[in-house]
Structure 1
Amino acid sequence: MNKSKDYNRVMVITGAASGLGKALALAAAQQGYDIAVADVQEQAGNQAVAAIKQHQVEAAYFHCDVGQAGGLLQLKDQVMAHFGRVDVLVNNAGVGSQGTVCDSTEEEWARQWQINLMGVVRGCQAFIPQLKKSADPAIVNVASFAAVALAPGVASYNVVKAGVLALSETLRCELAEAGIHVSVICPAFFKTNLVESMQNTDDKIKNQINRWMTKSKYTADDVANMILASIDNKQFMVLCDSTTQWQYRLSRWFPNYFFKQKVKMIKRMFQ
């Protein structure tokens, strides 16, 4: 249990109004966490707060655009004013993207950079000083298996998610002495609103992603429980199923074979 005799641990989740963020907020509330719901979706955020409070914990919504400089510092001030502490930071907010290196516009690269990578950096910079005051602090960064697979056709998304993985490995070392645990979550496709967040997406790619999501063996609730387990068990990298675990090993042990399999995959997609 994460519930103390004197206080509930406080978890801050960006992108908590829907999808994985909301699933995590509800699962964490069942374990006794108070929840700071940070999102740009005000109505959905307040609805999430109402659902979280049904578990007899405290929750509050804070408008936060992680893609804007200063947004996470403002969130930190608001969270501290409301809860007085923070124990776990989950950098979950993100958007999808599709396009090759040459096809992707500079605007799309900038969007991915500001939200999916710098949003995580800003969250860490804002909250680490407060996390150092916690007895059992943790940071969870939500990356993607795209950071490992680096499949063609989603170039900017691959690059920034690989950046989240690299950032997490760096933080793991930098924060070890401070006792702040770091987890990085690398799920493959599962049912979320990721496709809706994509801009200028090719319908064929969008339909393929939706099929992969539909065929997934796990859900947002499953990933949420994996995140909570990674905090409790001090697990660094979370690969959510046996297929991606094996593919990760292939990518490291047999990179040329893994590359050839990716080339075959992309040919099948566009036949």
Structure 2
Amino acid sequence: MKGKPVMLITGAAHGLGRALAGLAVAEHRVALLDREEAAGQALADELRQAGGEVLFVAADVSRERDLRQAVERVQRRWERLDVVINNAGLATAGPFESLDEAGWEQLWRVNVMGAVHGCQAALTLMKRQGHGHLVNVAALAGVTAPPGMAGYVACNAAVIRLSEALAAELAPLNIQVSVVCPDLFPSELGRRMPATDALSRARLQRALERAPESAEAVAERILAALPKRPLHIFPQPEAKRAWRRKRWRPEWFVKKMMEQARRLRRHS
């Protein structure tokens, strides 16, 4: 196939998605997907002015039809799709009992079904062309299971296990799967948080602001890892250390989370 490889990024208008797009456009033709049309189109215009070959599609990842139609547009435009980064996601924080059924449903449809829809939409084209790389962005919380974020933890754990299952299932088709598990970094994750109380929202926002690495630094490490197509990508050293500690000493790790939970409940 001629020309630069094609990458599709969901949740591309803000945060990590925006950082990924800004870096990837130098070596890829990039399809930007986001439900916020004005912000997504503005980013596409900015990247085009810098010389990038960019397509923006307004899409809500919770709707299967949106993802299917977006991939069809990519196919018509470039006749190929090499990498899909399912990055769109929501966060929530607060006591377990504070997240109602509607909040659980919203988290699940965006974080989990968004990844499912992205993978399914890309699969037909990737099977036809004989290769592809599906990249699901979860979060380290899906491994470490911090207290006060049960809904977010459950969704990210599901995306991690989904990715591991797909990695085995799709390998015979020459389609690789990676799952990215970043720790906190300064981002706009707190912009849309279903059913989150003010105190929990403030705590998460403070933790995001205090995180030592930028979204750009995290994006740079993710893109640097993609050519090797590893199953797990931990783009910060601390994230990889936490993953190892959880694997090697799971009971000790859970006790540490219990200590955090006691502090949270005491001040909630």
Instruction: State the TM-score, normalized to the length of structure 1.
Output: 0.92
* Counterpart residue identity of residue 134, structure 2: I
Among 17, 24, 43, the alignment partner of 1:21 is 17
Shift in Å at residue 72 of structure 1?
1.1
User: Cα deviations across residues 65-112 of structure 1 (Å, max 9, x unaligned)?
Assistant: 111232211111122122221111010111111233332100011101
Aligned to 1:95: 90
SS in structure 1 of the partner of residue 226 of structure 2: helix
Gaps of 5+ in 2: none
Gaps of 5+ in 1: none
Shift in Å at residue 124 of structure 1?
0.7
Once superposed, what is the RMSD of the aligned Cα atoms?
1.6
User: Cα deviations across residues 45-74 of structure 1 (Å, max 9, x unaligned)?
Assistant: 111111222342310110111112322111
Q: Which runs of 4+ in 1 moved over 6 A?
A: none
Among 202, 208, 212, the alignment partner of 1:207 is 202
Report matched runs for 1:77-96 at 5 Å. Answer: 77-96=72-91
Aligned to 1:8: 4
Distance in 2 (CA, whole Å) between partners of 1:235 and 1:22 is: 22
Among 50, 66, 81, the alignment partner of 1:71 is 66
User: Cα deviations across residues 166-210 of structure 1 (Å, max 9, x unaligned)?
Assistant: 010011101111122211111111111111110232222222212
Instruction: Indicate if the aligned counterparts of 1:87 and 1:134 stay in contact, CA closer than 8 A.
Output: no
Aligned to 1:260: 255
Report matched runs for 1:109-120 at 5 Å. Answer: 109-120=104-115
Among 124, 132, 146, the alignment partner of 1:137 is 132
Aligned to 1:244: 239
> Cα 1:135–1:222, aligned 2, differ >3 Å: closer, same or farther?
farther
Aligned to 1:162: 157
| Count of residue pairs the alignment pairs up | 266
Instruction: Indicate if the aligned counterparts of 2:99 and 2:196 stay in contact, CA closer than 8 A.
Output: no
Shift in Å at residue 244 of structure 1?
2.3
Distance in 2 (CA, whole Å) between partners of 1:134 and 1:221 is: 31
Aligned to 2:229: 234
Q: Does residue 179 of structure 1 match 2:162? A: no
Distance in 2 (CA, whole Å) between partners of 1:242 and 1:119 is: 27
Distance in 1 (CA, whole Å) between partners of 2:216 and 2:147 is: 28
Instruction: Indicate if the aligned counterparts of 1:12 and 1:37 stay in contact, CA closer than 8 A.
Output: yes
Q: Greater share of helix residues, 1 or 2?
A: 2
SS in structure 2 of the partner of residue 114 of structure 1: helix
User: Cα deviations across residues 13-70 of structure 1 (Å, max 9, x unaligned)?
Assistant: 111111111110110012x201111111111111111122234231011011111232
